[in-house]
Amino acid sequence: MKKKYSTIHPKVKGFMHGGDYNPDQWVGYPDIIEEDYRLMKLAKCNTFSINIFGWSAIEPEEGTYTFEWLDKIINGLAEQGSHVILATPSGARPAWLSQKYPEVLRVEKNRQRNLHGLRHNHCFTSPVYREKTQQFNRILAERYKDHPALIMWHVSNEYSGECHCDLCQAAFREWLKEKYHNNLDELNHAWWTGFWSHTFSNWEQIESPAPHGENQVHGHNLDWKRFVTEQTIDFYKNEIVPLREITPTIPVTTNFMGSYPEMGPFLGLNYDKFAKEVDVVTWDSYPAWHGDYQETSELAADVGFVHDMYRSLKDGQPFLILECTPSLVNWHKVNKTKRPGMHLLSSMQSIAHGADSILYFQWRKGRGASEKFHGAVVDHVGHEHNRVFREVAELGEVLENLQEVVGASVEAEVAIIYDWENQWAIDDAQGLKIENKEYINTCQAQYQAFWKKGIPVDVISMDKDLSKYKLVIAPMLYMVRPGVAERIETFVSNGGTFVSTYWSGIVDEHDLCFLGGFPGPLKNVLGIWAEEIDTLYDKEFNEVKFKEESSLNLSQTYKARDYCEVVHPKGANVLAEFQHDYYQGMPALTVNRYGKGEAYYIASRNDAQFHDDFYGEMAERLDIKSVFSEEIPKGVSVQRRANEHHEYTFVMNFNDHEQTVKLTKDHVYVDMVSQREIKSTVVLKPYGVVVLKKC
């Protein structure tokens, strides 16, 4: 349903634009701070995140607080009309704290305790660190609870990593005891510890996985990762106790991450679980635009996938870009600047997929240490007369023009299942192609077909409600947790269309193989038995050809690489067959009628043409509409947000050359970016973008 979500705080009326501001690095430079306020106005920035790394500037010694500088900054920002996102500074701590309480220092997998330094390296179990952070947050919340500029809490920074100290080991054991009902036999069975004589005879023998210890017991690895997610969330919950108590109307979030250069979500934490605990999903988006290993438009589709995933974490509620760079980063392999226009384009893309902010890391480049060459709105030169600043200010103006888009929803009839636990289990499996089984790429390969056609997609975990979709695609659904197959069956029998692929229905929630034939609990709905899977060398391929009498309007031959499964129909109809090898003539694509719906099975990893044609056909049969009725040229993405009153169509050119796009003849549009009227065609500049609204 088209709807307008409210902004994160009643004071926020439009898009938030601004980002991480680190005045704590500039306390000795009052002129710079004064100049910042002038530049912020010029850059049309209205929101700043502060205090992310401010702990030692506020509490230079234990119990001595020097808030005066922060008071000045918050007041200064408020005076020039900015909103403030206030961070709790647990992402990094003062040296005195590590020195006095070494238990706060993280212990690595190899069981070595880190020295003080870096950041994001605390023990998430340590009672001392929990107490110190909560105490600090209480003082912070008390001090600024009534500040008119405060609109949101930014809790810690990019939670990540694991700690293997004795406190964490003990907590892990407690967690296991609870999970396995204090029954070691249950754990031994779930972890299949009969293998290599790994059976445990008391709880104290259990430790976290280690490179020089246990690391081949998949149920163990999986439970450890689950524990790390839960313990991190628990740490976060401990941090926010005073915030909820003292500032109940201020929303709370923490910034999620992506993974690079392979453009996916961060894999260290299950964000599907974490999302339930934040008021708004936010993420830090740093794609390596203009890389030499992927076309820009392909990367754009992958980025779109991650945006859609983060929007779907809270069932369509708009998300925030809490960090991105106005130009370049300093940690990609090659740190290329965004070409002219790319900053506006990539920002519009985030918004098109559901973002309600464009916030940067960082406002001003620091003078020293490792991030001094990371992109920023204000460069070392210190003035506004450079390309990056101009492009930021230009974006600020566009965001003002687009204000009414804030809160508008994205409506999808298609969902692709991507699931963190499934990813962990696939990555851990020893077999197939050892190094990279390409789970995320496989999800993104299906997604690309919809992206090219302008068909919106939600990206959801296997636990989400399926009933609102016409088409649900579950690529490589290797793990099937309890209840999932039943929900898929209900979805299909009620008339839904389900598509799955090779290597689905293989293991349960403990990473134990299903007995009695794959795809395990999905057998009934898919109507097949997958007997074996063949892995191909990189240069090898098979071919998939549609049968003449197939019910789909497809007749071509497509290439299959990496994986081909030997499948027997058990009630399903065969639509396409392999052309070579000992499984020549065997099913490569099947469909099973189940209740009022259908379930398809793709038995091999096929080329992009296959996905384009197959999902094109699906869209037609299921009447799944593109948001754009005219042809979408190559490398152009069309996405839509809508509220009860209007539709906003984002037409984005990810090519480094011009593209002409035809529009529906009888309409006149206004391009909200340039504020010009557009009829019949639009010529998009290289990396050009228009946002169309019907006049």
Residues that bind ligand GLA (CB under 6 A): 157-158, 284, 286, 323, 329, 361, 371, 374
Phi and psi at residue 357, to the nearest 5° = -160, 155
374 binds, among ligand GLA, Zn ion, none (CB under 5 to 8 A by kind): ligand GLA
| CA separation for the pair 431, 562 (Å, rounded) | 12
Q: Is 163 in the site for Zn ion (CB under 5 A)?
A: yes
Distance from CA of residue 73 to its chain's centroid? 32
Min dist. Cβ of residue 329 to ligand GLA (A): 5
Q: Which listed option, ligand GLA, Zn ion, none, makes contact with residue 449 (CB within 5 to 8 Å by class)? A: none
d(CA 71, CA 149): 11
Q: Does 228 bind Zn ion (CB under 5 A)?
A: no
**Which residues within the stretch 108-147 sit at the binding site for Zn ion (CB under 5 A)?**
123, 125
Minimum distance of Zn ion from residue 203's CB (angstroms): 18
284 or 421: CB nearest ligand GLA: 284
Query: Minimum distance between the CB of residue 123 and Zn ion, rounded to whole angstroms?
Result: 3
Residue with smaller CB distance to ligand GLA, 388 or 627: 388
**8 A C-beta contact, residue 615 and residue 470:** no
Q: In 95-206, which ranges are E strands?
A: 150-155
Closer of 87 and 187 to ligand GLA (Cβ): 87
361 binds, among Zn ion, ligand GLA, none (CB under 5 to 8 A by kind): ligand GLA
- What does the alpha-carbon distance between residue 192 and residue 196 come to, in Å, rounded to a whole number? 10
Considering the complex, what minimum distance in angstroms separates the CB of residue 59 from Zn ion?
22
Is 323 in the active site? yes
Identify any residues that bridge with 559 across adjacent strands, giving them in sequence order.
Answer: 543
Closer to ligand GLA by Cβ: residue 120 or 481: 120
Sequence-distant (6+) residues with CB within 8 A of 93 are 55, 56, 104, 122, 129, 132
How many Å apart are CA 173 and CA 609, to the nearest integer? 49
| CB closer to ligand GLA, 308 vs 323 | 323
Burial of 44 (0-12, 13-18, 19+ CB in 10 A): middle
Tokens describing residue 230: 């839960």
Termini Cα distance of the chain:
22
Cα 185 from Cα 176, distance rounded (Å): 12
* 484's tokens: 């999932």
Contact of 220 with 209, CB cutoff 8 Å: yes
Contact call for residue 171 and Zn ion (CB under 5 A): no
Q: To the nearest whole angstrom, how small is the minimum distance from the Cβ of residue 317 to Zn ion?
A: 33
How far apart are CB 87 and Zn ion at their closest, in Å?
23
Q: What is the largest CA-CA distance in the chain?
A: 80
Ranked by CB distance to ligand GLA, the top (closest) residue is 284
Distance in angstroms (rounded) separating the CA atoms of residues 92 and 308: 31
Which residue in 59, 158, 384, 391 is the catalytic one? 158
Cross-sheet strand order for the sheet of 689-694: 636-642, 647-653, 689-694, 668-671, 676-679
Q: Name, in order, each residue with C-beta under 8 angstroms of 197's C-beta and a sequence gap of 6 or more.
A: none
Q: Which does 618 bind (CB under 5 to 8 A by kind): Zn ion, ligand GLA, none?
A: none
Binding Zn ion (rule: CB under 5 A), the pick from 140, 155, 165, 575 is 165
Which does residue 329 touch among ligand GLA, Zn ion, none (CB within 5 to 8 A, set by kind)?
ligand GLA
Q: Report how far residue 551's alpha carbon sits from residue 591's, in angstroms, rounded to the nearest whole number.
A: 9
In eight-state DSSP terms, residue 406 is: T
- When the beta carbons of 213 and 585 are compared against Zn ion, the nearer one is 213
Cα 339 to Cα 290: distance, rounded to the nearest angstrom: 8
d(CA 441, CA 302): 9
DSSP string, 456-521: -EEEE-TTS--TT-SEEEETT--B--TTHHHHHHHHHHTT-EEEEESS-S-B-TTSPBPSSSBTGG
Q: Which ranges constitute the DSSP H helices of 361-411?
A: 387-401
323 contact, one of Zn ion, ligand GLA, none, CB 5-8 Å limit per kind:
ligand GLA
Taking the complex as a whole, the smallest distance from the CB of residue 393 to ligand GLA amounts, in Å, to 21
- Measured CA to CA, the distance from residue 72 to residue 514 in angstroms comes to 62
What is d(CA 488, CA 462) in angstroms, rounded to the nearest whole number?
Answer: 9
CB atoms within 10 A of CB 646: 14
Q: β-strands 16-20, 47-50: how paired?
A: parallel
| Shortest reach from residue 80's CB to Zn ion, in Å | 42
Please, which residues have CB within 8 angstroms of residue 182's CB and are 6 or more apart in sequence?
none
Pick the closer one to ligand GLA by CB: 126 or 362: 362
CB of 107 vs Zn ion, minimal distance in Å? 6
CB of 170 to Zn ion, least distance (A): 9
Residue 625's binding partner out of ligand GLA, Zn ion, none, with CB under 5 to 8 Å set by partner kind: none
61 is catalytic: no
271 binds, among ligand GLA, Zn ion, none (CB under 5 to 8 A by kind): none
| Tokens of residue 92, six digits | 């990094």
Tokens representing 382? 């210190």
Residue 164 Cβ vs Zn ion, minimum distance, rounded to whole Å: 7
Q: Which of 59, 239, 298, 323 is catalytic?
A: 323
Q: 165 or 603: whose CB is closer to Zn ion?
A: 165
Q: How far is the CB of 85 from ligand GLA (least distance, A)?
A: 13
Phi/psi for 450 (5° steps) reads -80, -40
Residue 123 binds: one of Zn ion, ligand GLA, none (C-beta under 5 to 8 A by kind): Zn ion
- Tell me which of Zn ion, ligand GLA, none is bound by residue 391, counting a contact when its beta carbon lies within the kind-specific cut-off of 5 to 8 angstroms: none
C-beta of 125 vs 357, nearer to Zn ion? 125
The closest alpha carbon to 412, from 312, 340, 318, 487, belongs to: 312
158 or 598: CB nearest ligand GLA:
158
Say which entry of Zn ion, ligand GLA, none residue 125 contacts (CB below 5 to 8 A, set by partner kind): Zn ion
CA-CA distance, 307 to 301, in Å (whole number)? Answer: 10
* Interface segment toward Zn ion; rule CB under 5 A; list 161-169, 444-452, 500-508, 645-653: 161-169
Look at residue 168 and give the partner it binds from ligand GLA, Zn ion, none, a contact being a CB closer than 5 to 8 Å depending on partner kind.
Answer: Zn ion
| 255 versus 317: smaller Cβ distance to ligand GLA | 255
* Cβ nearer to ligand GLA, comparing 371 with 379: 371
> Given the rule CB under 5 A, which of 49-57, 167-175, 242-250, 479-487 is the region that contacts Zn ion?
167-175
Q: Which residues are catalytic?
A: 158, 323
Residues that bind Zn ion (CB under 5 A): 123, 125, 163, 165, 167-168
